[in-house]
């Protein structure tokens, strides 16, 4: 079976972090993590007692998870991992090849040739698939309406979850998605479940997608409601609030207010652990 390298990159403040994985068939092996800029960062991140923790942020579509997770990571100088972008990238790749989610065997065969890069930059995170920048494409309504269908495929989730867990081994990670606190990082020190009304989530997503012609607020609201249903009803890792997660309704909060609360909770947790 053909094997390939999949590389995931992210920033921890001004520190570049490379995540290297060797993917062969349905197996994924963690190879190495290399830190640049400051060699001392490695020593500070190899221990679970380094002053850093993992933060899991879950919630439905349009709750603001990615925006908030990125802000929290910047405020704490942590690494941000956008798991939703990984699922979107896989969805875009499969749809472009005419492979439907019902074709499970073909899906699992095709993703063996899938390489994803998460590349932070001044204008936000870029997502590359096999070297191609697909940052805009994976945010289209077409991908948004299909990603939950592909995300129900157990083999695809297993592959991506294994990558996500390896990313969090050294602590200092803020990861957002739909099953981070329940499945991917069940031992995360701080777990947040973000939500907002469907109307507010649709409004936010509409503001993000206004450049796409023919998109209406009503279309997005219907899409979000359907994604909620699919995410909550899927058999594998359904969307739900972890028992030990803190619920944050962001409907009437600014992004900065939400980020400040999560940072405060995280710092309080670490201070309590030191007592």
**pLDDT per residue over 180-218, tens digit each?**
999 999 999 999 999 999 999 999 989 887 767 688 999
7 is in an annotated binding site: no
25 is in an annotated binding site: no
64 is in an annotated binding site: yes
Sheet holding 79-82, edge to edge: 27-35, 15-24, 3-12, 79-82, 173-177, 54-58, 190-195, 246-249
Segment 118-128 mean pLDDT = 79
Do 177 and 158 contact (CB within 8 A), yes or no?
A: no
State how far the Cα of 170 lies from the Cα of 10, in Å rounded to an integer.
14
State how far the Cα of 23 lies from the Cα of 3, in Å rounded to an integer.
6
DSSP structure string for 169-238: TTS-EEEEESSIIIII-TT-SEEEEEE--HHHHHHHHHHHSTTSTT--HHHHHHHHHHHHHHHHH-SSS-
62 is in an annotated binding site: yes
Please state the length of the chain: 275
Burial class (CB in 10 A: 0-12, 13-18, 19+), 5: exposed
Q: What confidence score (pLDDT) does residue 50 get? A: 65
Q: What confidence score (pLDDT) does residue 51 get? A: 77
Do 247 and 258 contact (CB within 8 A), yes or no?
A: no
Q: What confidence score (pLDDT) does residue 29 get? A: 33
237 is in an annotated binding site: no
121 is in an annotated binding site: no
State how far the Cα of 217 lies from the Cα of 199, in Å rounded to an integer.
9
CATH number for 3-274 (one of 3.40.50.300, 3.40.640.10, 3.90.1010.10, 2.30.40.10): it is: 3.40.50.300
155 is in an annotated binding site: no
Segment 249-274 mean pLDDT = 93
Task: Quote helix, strand, coil % in the chain, to nearest 5.
Answer: 45, 25, 30
Cα dihedral across residues 236, 240, 243, 244: positive or negative: positive
**Where residue 103 falls among pLDDT bands split at 50, 70, 90?**
very high
User: Tens digits of per-residue pLDDT, 43-101?
Assistant: 334 444 467 999 999 999 889 999 999 999 999 999 899 998 999 999 999 999 999 99
């Amino acid at each position: 079976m053909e094997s390939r390298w999949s590389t995931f990159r992210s920033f921890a403040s001004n520190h570049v972090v490379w995540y290297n994985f060797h993917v062969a068939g349905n197996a994924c092996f963690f190879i190495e993590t290399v830190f640049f800029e400051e060699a001392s960062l490695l020593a500070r991140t190899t221990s679970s007692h380094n002053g850093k923790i993992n933060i899991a942020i879950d919630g439905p579509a349009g709750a603001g998870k990615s925006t908030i997770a990125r802000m929290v990571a910047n405020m704490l100088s942590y690494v941000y991992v956008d798991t939703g972008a990984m699922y979107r990238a896989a969805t875009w790749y499969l749809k472009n090849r005419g492979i439907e989610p019902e074709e499970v065997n073909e899906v699992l065969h095709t993703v063996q040739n899938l390489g994803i890069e998460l590349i932070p930059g001044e204008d936000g995170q870029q997502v590359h698939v096999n070297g191609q920048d697909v940052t805009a494409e994976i945010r289209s309504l077409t991908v948004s309406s299909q990603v939950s269908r592909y995300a129900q495929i157990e083999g695809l989730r297993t592959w991506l979850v294994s990558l996500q867990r390896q990313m969090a081994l050294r602590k200092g990670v803020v990861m957002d998605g739909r099953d981070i606190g329940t499945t991917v990082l069940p031992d995360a020190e701080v777990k947040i479940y973000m939500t907002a009304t469907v109307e507010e989530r649709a409004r936010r997503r509409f503001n993000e997608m206004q450049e796409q012609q023919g998109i209406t607020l009503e279309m997005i609201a219907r899409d979000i409601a359907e994604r909620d249903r699919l995410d909550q009803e899927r058999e594998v890792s359904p969307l739900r609030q972890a028992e030990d997660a803190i619920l944050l309704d962001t409907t009437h909060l600014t992004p900065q207010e939400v980020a400040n609360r999560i940072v405060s909770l995280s710092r309080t947790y670490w201070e309590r652990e030191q007592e």
